[in-house]
Chain A
Amino acid sequence: MIRRGLLTGAVLGALWMLVLSITVAVAMSFATGDPFRPGAWLSLLWGSIAGGAMVVLGRGRSIQVGIFVAVAALVLAGIGPMLTGAATGGSARAFGAVLLAVGFAVSLAAILNEVRPGELTRHEFEGAVIRFLTGFGYIFFTAIVLIPFYVMVMTSLKNQSELIQNPLDFSIDLSKGIELFRSYDELFSQFNFGTYLFNSFFISVLTVFITLAFAIPGAYAVARLRFSGRAAFSRSILLIYMVPMIVLALPIYIAFSMTGLRNSFWGIVMIYPVTTIPVALYMLQGYFRGLPAEIEEAGLMDGLSRLAVIWKITLPLSLPALASVSLYVFMIAWNEFLLAFMLLDDPSKFTLTRGIASLNSSEIPRQHLMAGSVIATVPIMALFLGLERFMTKGLTAGSVKG
């Protein structure tokens, strides 16, 4: 019954209209701050009519244009799938109507491809459902990922009173020019964020080097050399990987308090690498195992010592893996919050994450908090997008540490 073409077309059309009208309404609200809202019943009604029409009349250019005109006209007339309030600007309303109408007419034709009146085969029916779910999936994931970041960036560019007046209005007044970046300017000039940025960077880079210095020999030994206790050792690496930081943080806090290492740069530099060494070791030993042992054996035959083999053969061959591991370790150190929060109290030694935590008070306007978040997010994102290939590999190899 559900596999009748007409019914499939109507149901998918109705649901798709609902998805699109919610999407466009949310997007237009976030972009302009004007009231846009999806009309659930109207969406279902008009969507099912459009879907049914497409199945019966075909998906030709003229039908698409017809649906486009109908949807746009309905929205502008105020009885369409998307409703607007009295305060909505005329051009914003027209733009929203056209956006919804174009998006719907084009994408519904793609979804209902192969759907015709009469009984559908299982393939045709499931194909249409899958295309609908795919479209929904792209919209859903893009929305949930982008909205928090969009809010973060836009909040940092506004001021408190604007935000409270209309929390949805993220439009920015470009005529303010450089004044838009006032929060950033204040963070760097009054809140010491330059120092925090430098501290974070310095600590993260040091952590990467120290981690590699420990993990490379260890990983090589586990991957290549035969010794009793090898299996037990690689298992215990995995187990150590599982001990939660908060359990370790408590005794470390006590020990650091008593030895005066709390609140010191070197205390942090000592502790960060140890949290990353097990991960790095685990990732690297996997890669070393994949390298052909014959090349190293050839080196040994030619009279190199083991250490020279590691330095001259293994390491150059594993540069991509080293890049992945370094990036991953850098990310962990850059994003680390708990230890920095517990061990650092002196504002001149804060890392970025600790600095942001100190902005979380009712006296500091929240655009500062968001500007701080943007400052912490942008470098790691830039690094990630620039080196995405290595990063993806590093994440998959690094198992599932979080």
Chain B
Amino acid sequence: MADIQPPIGTGPLAKREARLAWGLLFPTITAVALVVVLPLLAIFWISVKPVELADLRAPEVVVREDIRGDFDTAEDEATIRYRLRNSSQDQPIAGVTLADVVPEGLTVLSLDDRCAIEGRALNCDFGDWEPGLRETLTIPVLVEQAYLDNGLRPQDSPAITTGTASNILTNSTFTLNNFARIFNGDEFVEVLWVTLFYTVFGTIGALLVGLFAALLLNKSFKGQGVLRGLYLFPYVAPVIAVAFAWLILFDPFSGSANALLLQMGVTSEAINFFGERPLALIMVTAFEIWRYFPLSFLFILARMQSIDTDMYEAADMDGASPFQQFWYLSVPQLLGILSVLFLLRFIWTFNKFDDIFLLTGGNAGTRTLTVNVYEQAFAISNIGAGAAVAVVIFGCLLTFSIFFLKYISQEEGL
């Protein structure tokens, strides 16, 4: 009898399956590549370019055209005037040309030597332009009856201009100034410290508060569903709505929180919760905890409800007190989900932008790395420096991801 061996290599069926799989994944891969991978590469590119916000608009030739002179009757003389300028104050434009059509009934009397006329088509070549250059081109013309009759003005046919400017985004000027600038001095140290404080305390706080909430609701009683729904509110509501509600609640002049504290005699003067140095950071961290405890709560509760109750009965028989049961039975069972939550939330808190941006705008010592991207790119208008901060963030994330993949993939079975 011949030896029977398992098939080697991939058969036609397996190949067909793989082809189908890639076919199904293709749209997603394309979309993600376009919107995630390309921008990530772009960030690295921009971070070594000296780009300012104003550079995003490429320099162009701006042209205004009009006709001047008194010409009520035929055979009068008039002047067509083109006023041109380079829109950029610091970028040259090469090979500037202008093309236009002279309306019927105007005869060109004399012509600038940079221009040529063929029939009624006017073509001019201005060569290279310095930054901020202005130029006025005048063409004396003879007005004929036909022009007065048809009412077509020179500006009715728009002048077409061309010219190539080197784009700062695509040329080969590179600089390390962006990185030098963001790493410079105490500011960067402070940003890092704020990010670390916000991330660590925000994550741990949300976990602990969520654990407490889950312990409360881990029993069935009337109204448990209502409370569970209620406790998820902070997470479900739009961040902009709740952030502004907090701002108004803690307003230093007319906020209810201050009025309450004054009335209770806790403080003798109004506290500027989101405007003072150490307090603002504590407040944005508290906001983070408030907004994201529902998420930890939901996960921990789901895990708690899947723990076998027999174990607690056995422990009860053995005389373990409630706190002992919590510490020696529940906590070890929850350790898995707690560590997964910690890692995921750590990364997400690190990435958080909206909350701080809306609450303080990064002022009063609350500027985290993500807020710094916006600050550099849009407030200081230095896109390149913003991109450099983004690169730093990306580097941090890569480090986290290594941890993440190491631990989470075991937990989640990926």
Contacts and interface: CB of A to CB of B under 8 A. Distances in A.
The secondary structure that dominates the B interface is helix
B263 interface: yes
Contacts of B354: 337-338
Interface stretch (A7-15, A100-108, A171-179, A229-237): A229-237
A59 B414 CA distance: 56
A235 B238 contact: no
A116 interface: no
Contact of A396 (B258, B302, B321, B370): B302
18 contacts: A145-B231, A152-B248, A168-B259, A225-B20, A235-B414, A238-B414, A246-B370, A247-B39, A248-B35, A251-B42, A274-B36, A277-B31, A337-B239, A369-B244, A377-B238, A384-B229, A388-B229, A391-B236
B55 to A, nearest CB: 10
A228 B353 CA distance: 37
Interface string B332-360: 00000000010011011111111001100
Interface string A360-383: 100000100110111011001100
A149 B231 CA distance: 12
Interface string B362-404: 0000000010011001000001001100100110010011001
A189 interface: no
B401 A126 contact: no
Tell me what chain A mostly uses at the interface: helix, strand, loop, or mixed: helix
Given A218-B28, A274-B32, A366 B248 contact: yes
Nearest to B351: A244
A242 interface: yes
Contact of A401 (B24, B321, B348, B373): B348
Given A148-B246, A225-B18, A396-B298, A138 B227 contact: yes
Given A240-B36, A271-B35, A373-B241, A254 B298 contact: no
Nearest to A36: B263
- Interface magnitude class on chain A: 35 or more
B40 A380 contact: no
Interface of A: 25-26, 29-30, 35-38, 85, 122-123, 126-127, 130, 134, 137-138, 141-142, 144-149, 151-152, 155, 163-164, 166-168, 170, 213-215, 217-218, 220-222, 225-228, 230-231, 233-235, 238-240, 242-248, 250-252, 254-255, 257-258, 270-271, 273-275, 277-278, 281, 306, 331, 334-335, 337-338, 352-353, 356-357, 360, 366, 369-370, 372-374, 376-377, 380-381, 384-385, 388, 391-392, 395-396, 399-402
Contacts of B56: 254, 257-258
A179 B56 CA distance: 48
A170 B357 CA distance: 28
Given A123-B321, A126-B322, A141-B231, A402 B22 contact: no
B351 A392 contact: no
Nearest to A400: B344
A381 B237 CA distance: 7
B254 A385 contact: no
B390 A167 contact: no
A134 B290 CA distance: 19
A122 B241 contact: no
B35 A278 contact: no
B265 A37 contact: yes
A385 B25 CA distance: 34
B322 A381 contact: no
Contacts of A396: 298-299, 302
B314 interface: no
Given A145-B233, A254-B42, A228 B36 contact: no
